[in-house]
Amino acid sequence: MKQQHINVGKISGVFGVKGWIKVFSFTDPRENILNYSPWLLKKDSETRSVAVIGGKLQGKAVVAQLDGINDRNQAAGFIDWDIVITHEQLPKAAKGEYYWSDLVGLTVETTLGVRLGVVDSLLETGANDVLIVQGERERVIPFLQKQTIMNIDLDAGRIVVDWDPEF
């Protein structure tokens, strides 16, 4: 159940006077956002496809030059726009690795076939990532492959977990 578009960042400001923008990137490492040209910029019901023609890590921020945006005023008009890409723009995940966007929406069930709900989101906790599963109640399940996460079948839209349904 792949999402059509994936939000990879947001335009957070302007950089210089030649139309460069500051980007808050959701990618890891954050400068990877520059590899996904073109971007689809979205705000409310407006969208605009733009090619990334330059960019770099500038301190802790990412700055980018977009085709057709040539001055600071034009760039300022895109502050707070979301940056989305298509799933096809992502490199293929290695065996046993998954994009979070591929896991959201999958059904989660225990090894005994008890349905717990659907993956709503994932969180980084520092120690390990966790699945937020919405069902008859919310569950937070550590994303530990071969410990709590026994099987992920993207084609079937299912994750099998070793998890007590009462927990």
For residue range 60-109, list pLDDT tens digits in order: 889 999 999 999 999 999 999 999 999 899 888 888 899 888 999 999 99
Where does residue 127 rank: exposed (0-12), middle (13-18), buried (19+ CB within 10 A)? Answer: exposed
Contact between 7 and 88 under an 8 Å Cβ cutoff? The reply is no
Say if 95 falls within a structural domain. Answer: no
Of the three residues 37, 60, 88, the one that is the final residue of a domain is 88
Q: Based on the fold, state whether residues 64 and 108 are members of the same structural domain.
A: no
What domain count does the chain have?
A: 2
Taking the model in full, what pTM does it have?
A: 0.75
* Rounded distance between C-alpha atoms, residue 35 and residue 43, angstroms: 22
Task: Indicate if 105 and 49 belong to the same structural domain.
Answer: no
Flag whether 94 is in a domain: no
Which residues on neighbouring strands pair with residue 86, listed in sequence order?
5
- Domain of residue 34: give its range: 5-88
Q: Which residues pair with 48 in a beta bridge?
A: 41
> Does residue 110 sit in the same domain as residue 80?
no
Mean pLDDT confidence for 144-153: 96
**Which of 88, 121, 153 is the last residue in one of the domains?**
88
Q: Residues 84, 107: one domain?
A: no
**DSSP assignment letter at 93:** P
**Shared-domain flag, residues 80 and 151:** no
